[in-house]
Amino acid sequence: MSEFADFIRVSLVELSALFAGVGIVAWLLPQERRLPIVLGGGLAVGHALSIFVLMALLRLLPIGLAVPAVFLLALPPAAFAILSLRRRPYIWGVSLGWTVLALSLLTLISVGAVVDLAASVWNGSTHENLVVRMAMAAHAAESPWPVMDPYSPDHQRLYRHAAQVWTAALMRISGAGLYPATVVTVLASVLAIAGGLFAAVARLRSYLAGFLGASLFFTATPSNFLGVWKTPFGSLSTSKAYGLATVKRELAQGYVLGHGLALAPGNDFTLMVGLGAGSGAVFLAATLVDPTTRRRTGIVVAAMALAAAGAAAEQILPVAVATLLAVAAVLAIRRRWTQAISFAALVLLSSAFVLIPEGTYAALAFGSEIGQRAGFAFTPEYFLRLPTEFLFFAGSESHFFAVPAQTFRIWLFEPIALKEIGWIYVALASLIILSRRRNSASILAFAVAPAIALLIPGLVSDRLYEINIAKFTVLGISLGGLAAGVAAAELLARRKAGLARVGAGVLAGGLIVFASATWMLAVPFWPARLSEQPYRHLKEELEATDYLRSLDYGRRALILPGPTDKEEVNSDGWEGMHRFVVSFGATAIPMGLDRWGAAHLYQPYYIPAYDSLDEAAMAQLRIDTIYVAPHLLTEEQERMLESAVAEGRAKLLFESFAGNRQIYEYQPR
């Protein structure tokens, strides 16, 4: 019941921030009377501005003041939104059928996002990515700013911070726990993406284009539905249900290292938050071509929204900036100077604003004394190539869609790439042809964005983790869905008679099917994603981590037994204790997870501390807590702990109700 109350409280707090955006949009677009556009765009703008303002205030104020200041600042525009909705003659203008269809689909997408997140948190279908993000949020809810890396507590993790800090802000202001705050952050992002993209495309093209574009943005994945007849992928049963259930997560993955948004909430919810903010920027950019808008303020607000997107997920900014510059160039060629200058100014301002929040871009520009910087490199030798992963389709054989063996990168037009994301190329080609035939540059922008996202991995590499570059592929697939939706709507909207009508209908239907069928097929397997129960003593784990959170913030724990390096952190070993200690327990584990987290400085001490409770190593790491699963200890570890207790170095502070978790206070002699 208390968690339900948490959900209500944190939802109301989030809604107040979102609703402030509706007020800002109502003020920026005084002539706009279409309620779906004001509401949709407003939700995205509210999401983006709240995050940007919070990150900017954190440069000036302590976090304890910055968080309430953001929500206080949101009150006047939220009040203006209510006044405007009462006084202005807004019209809904969408039929009941479309309204019910769109809201139901949004509900289904929201359910899918929460299931993906929940499966990762409670059912062990994640690796360390989500755990680190949630841990950062939990620590930011307790610690002074800037928050330190939970696995390297003397260092900052200098990459995307904004989503985690926003989740922490929701926890601080509502008093909610980590899980409700994360769920609401993801749901708000879904609303912002749907609303912002719908409103932007609808303003530029039509409601149908807005609906299809936003829908397919969410549902776009590699075309794995083409391979389902090959189940059961070497499994132990002839049951299709069993075969598919064993690949329930991989169903939405592809051979190319990109899976669309279907798996983003449970892997890296920061991308969802960034895209929500980016959708606000896209919506505001779409209003810049309208002379009735308050353009100068709109440019500044759009730049803030884009900066928030870049701060939440750094992959979004280069794609957005390149697309905006392309639009500006086209407008300049057409001698529409005012609009071209508006877009160029938006690019310049957002490039400056993105340096304000702490994170990847600020660290790249200014460096850092206490954190690791990203290791991006210019690698044109990979031009027109995507990073790969041996995922779903690699589990079966295909003579036509050949899977290159042990390939690090594949060519964009290799058969397997054509099978996985060929529908994106068809969508882009359709948009280019439609743009030329209808002499409409606004159609072309929807083709440019996914093309850029898919081309960037061919030019840039991340020397630390290739998966950071693969997120451009994730973005490219989602933007490909947007492109497919816009193309389908355009094809359906102005069909000619006869064969052309049939052809346009078939092409539009094909694009919709290819962009959404894998996602749709995955829907029946959502319950199966919640079936695994890898954490045998979850109730005791949460009881113990609650206790940890009740202690003064800043504790550093040794997990006994537990992982000692990144590979072990990613494993399901030790009942996943470390995952809950760093996140729900808001306690640091000073092992140095990876190269982002200065592992080389922590590993030489954590390993002797783990192996023998070495006093010098424990003191060096300032470990003050030992988190123990007594039933998992080896005899040697039991002896080691007993001797530490006998020597007065370890004192039992807490034992869970069934005795499967213990917390010791460690004191050096």
Partner 1 sequence: MNISPAKFHTLALAGVWILGVLSWATAFLLPLDWPVSSMTDRSALIPIGPVSEFVVPGQLFGTPEAVSAIDVLIRVGGPFGASTPVGMAVYEDVERTSLVARSGAEPVSVPAGLAVIRFDLDVAIDGNRRFYLELEIPPDNPWPIFVGGTRDDPRRAGDYLYLERRPGWSDQDLAYQFFRRQTGIQRFIHIASVRPEMAWTIVLSLVAVLGMSAGLSLLALRNYGWMTISGAAVALPGLALLALLVWLLL
CB of 103 to partner 1, least distance (A): 7
Q: By CB under 8 A, which span of 23-31, 57-65, 529-537, 630-638 interacts with partner 1?
A: 529-537
Of residues 232-291, those binding partner 1 (CB under 8 A): 234-242, 244-246
Task: Name the residue nearer to partner 1 (CB basis): 206 or 351.
Answer: 206
Least separation, in Å, of the C-beta of 651 and partner 1?
A: 33
Closest of 454, 76, 25, 478 to residue 280, by C-alpha = 25
Specify the residue, 531 or 667, whose C-beta has the smaller distance to partner 1: 531
390 binds partner 1 (CB under 8 A): no
The least CB distance from residue 432 to partner 1, in Å, is 30
- Shorter beta-carbon distance to partner 1: residue 95 or 292: 95
Taking CB under 8 A as the criterion, which residues in 113-152 touch partner 1?
115, 118, 122
Query: Cβ closer to partner 1: 164 or 221?
Result: 221
Least separation, in Å, of the C-beta of 600 and partner 1? 31
Q: Which pair of structure tokens corresponds to residue 26?
A: 């109502």
Report whether 272 contacts 113 (CB < 8 A).
yes
- The SS3 call for residue 163 is helix
Nearest-angstrom CA–CA distance, 651 and 91:
67
Q: How far is CA 11 from CA 273, 544, 602, in A?
A: 15, 27, 39
- Residue 42: partners with Cβ closer than 8 Å, 6 or more residues away: 18, 19, 21, 22, 23, 24, 25, 26, 81, 195
Per-residue binder mask for partner 1 (CB under 8 A), 504-523, x = binder: -------------------x
Q: How far is the CB of 532 from partner 1 (least distance, A)?
A: 8
Name the one residue in this structure whose structure tokens are 């529908």.
423
Q: Which residues contact 581 (CB under 8 A, 6 or more apart)?
A: 545, 548, 557, 559, 587, 589, 627
Compute the least distance from the CB of residue 575 to partner 1, in Å.
Answer: 11
In the complex, the smallest distance separating the C-beta of residue 365 from partner 1, rounded to whole angstroms, is 44
Write down the least CB distance from residue 634 to partner 1, Å.
15
Tokens describing residue 144 = 């002074």
Nearer CB in complex with partner 1: 107/292:
107
Smallest gap from residue 216 Cβ to partner 1 (A): 15
Do residues 185 and 167 lie in contact, with contact meaning Cβ atoms separated by under 8 Å? yes
What single letter denotes the amino acid at residue 417? A
| Rounded least distance, CB 107 to partner 1, Å | 4
Instruction: Output 91 or 236, the one with its CB closest to partner 1.
Output: 236
Q: Which is nearer to partner 1, 65 or 100 (CB)?
A: 100
- For partner 1, the closer CB: 96 or 497: 96
Instruction: Find the binding residues for partner 1 in span 88-117 (CB under 8 A).
Output: 95-105, 107-108, 111, 115
Torsion-angle region of residue 284: left (phi > 0), alpha (psi -120 to 50) or beta? alpha
Binding mask 191-230 for partner 1 (x = CB under 8 A): ----------------------------------------
Query: For residues 427 and 508, what is the distance between their CA atoms, to the nearest angstrom?
Result: 9
Q: Is 530 near partner 1 (CB under 8 A)?
A: yes
Tokens read off for 59: 């440069």
What are the structure tokens assigned to 278, written together?
A: 């980016």
Q: Encoding tokens for residue 155?
A: 């260092």
Residues 6+ apart with CB under 8 A from 523: 108, 112
Judged by beta carbon, residue 242 or residue 465, the one nearer partner 1 is: 242
524 near partner 1, judged by CB under 8 A? yes
In the chain, the amino acid numbered 596 is W
Quote the radius of gyration of the chain (alpha carbons, Å). Answer: 25
Cβ closest to partner 1, residue 122 vs residue 547: 122
429 lies in the site for partner 1, by CB under 8 A: no
Q: Which is nearer to partner 1, 249 or 385 (CB)?
A: 249
Least spacing, CB of residue 519 vs partner 1, in Å: 13
CB of 100 to partner 1, least distance (A): 4
Shortest CB 232 distance to partner 1, Å: 8
Least Å from the CB of residue 94 to partner 1: 11
**Which region, judged by CB under 8 A, interacts with partner 1, from 30-38, 274-282, 337-345, 527-535?**
527-535
Nearer residue to partner 1 within complex by CB, 99 or 634: 99
571 binds partner 1 (CB under 8 A): no
Q: Is 1 in the site for partner 1 (CB under 8 A)?
A: no
Asked if 648 is part of the footprint of partner 1 (rule: CB under 8 A), the reply reads no
Q: What span, in angstroms and rounded, lies between the C-alpha atoms of 278 and 44?
A: 8
Position 405 contacts partner 1 (CB under 8 A)? no
**Contact by Cβ (8 Å): 202, 37:** yes
* The two structure tokens encoding residue 138: 């939990």
By CB under 8 A, the count of residues binding partner 1 is 36
- Residue closer to partner 1 by CB (options 94, 459) is 94
521 Cβ contact partners less than 8 Å away, ≥ 6 residues apart: 224, 225, 228, 251
As a whole number of angstroms, the distance between CA 587 and CA 153 comes to 10
Count of CB atoms situated within 10 Å of the CB of 379: 17
1 vs 499 by CB, closer to partner 1: 1
625-628 vs 650-655, strand pairing mode: unpaired
CB of 190 to partner 1, least distance (A): 13
How far, rounded to the nearest angstrom, does the alpha carbon of residue 492 sit from its chain's CA centroid?
32
Assess contact for 256 and 410: CB atoms under 8 A: yes
| 493 is an interface residue for partner 1 by CB under 8 A | no
Q: Looking only at Cα atoms, what is the longest distance across the chain?
A: 90
Q: Which is nearer to partner 1, 468 or 660 (CB)?
A: 660
**618 with 610: CB under 8 angstroms?**
no
* Bridge-based pairing state of the strands 625-628 and 557-560: parallel
Dihedral sign computed on CA atoms, order 558, 561, 566, 571? negative
Interface with partner 1 by CB under 8 A: which residues?
Answer: 95-105, 107-108, 111, 115, 118, 122, 234-242, 244-246, 523-524, 526-527, 530-532
